[in-house]
Amino acid sequence: MNSIILAWWQCSCKLPRSHPVTDIIVKVKGVLFDLDGTLIDTAPDLVQVLNQMLAIHSQPPVPYAIARNEVSNGALGLIKLGFGDTLSDIELEKLRLEFLACYVKNPCNKAKLFDGIEDLLKFLEKQNIKWGIVTNKPQAMTEPLLKSLGIFTRAGSVVSGDRLPERKPHPAPVLLGAKELRVSSNFCVYIGDAPRDIEAGRAAGMATIATSYGYIRANDNVKDWNATMIVRRPRGLKNAINHLNNNE
């Protein structure tokens, strides 16, 4: 086992077999993050809104451990989990709007940066590595959350889910993020906790990091996503970026 792969095991990161070391880019100039389950732990607030809605509609609550893993699929994913997947499109849209109206009132009650993320952002800023956020979350929910946590003005780009006609897994939002950072996509890394994140990043020509600490469904196998790297803990992201930079 060579020194790079050995180092990955030591820092709780894993290099998937489908991506040999020779595929790793030499210099990272920009880092783009997914939001929920990657940069910020938003599950407590989102699951609380879901269970409040279920109570209003005389439905049983969903256990947190189960609902948490659905958060990356947004409001519709949570609604289908709680209310079932037999609802009509009209019923789904009505519940979705109800969910968003409840959530937007207080999007940062319990939400917080994952442990180690603030240190990572400071590291990127110290190294003059530009960073931004590309999320499918609507702007009305994204910006208040980022402002509450004090990171909105620090991000070089914030691409919310309603800025473009396309959403992830389409690469357009990720490419827009790179453009706003003024960094070529082949010098960017996209980091996320869902298959669509990795698909979007790869389609944009970026190295990708899958965060297995995020909101992963029980039947999802992160290895199957074909990310450049897998990181098991938020604090492993700094080491991941250093390795992408060939800093052994």
Active-site positions read: 34, 36
Cα–Cα separations (whole angstroms), residue 116 to 22, 40, 195, 233, 237: 28, 11, 23, 9, 9
Nearest 5 degrees, angle CA 50-CA 53-CA 56? 155
Element (H, E) at 113: strand 112-113
Nearest 5 degrees, angle CA 195-CA 189-CA 30? 145
Cα–Cα separations (whole angstroms), residue 10 to 4, 7, 24, 215: 10, 5, 18, 23
Q: Token pair of 76, please? A: 């519709």
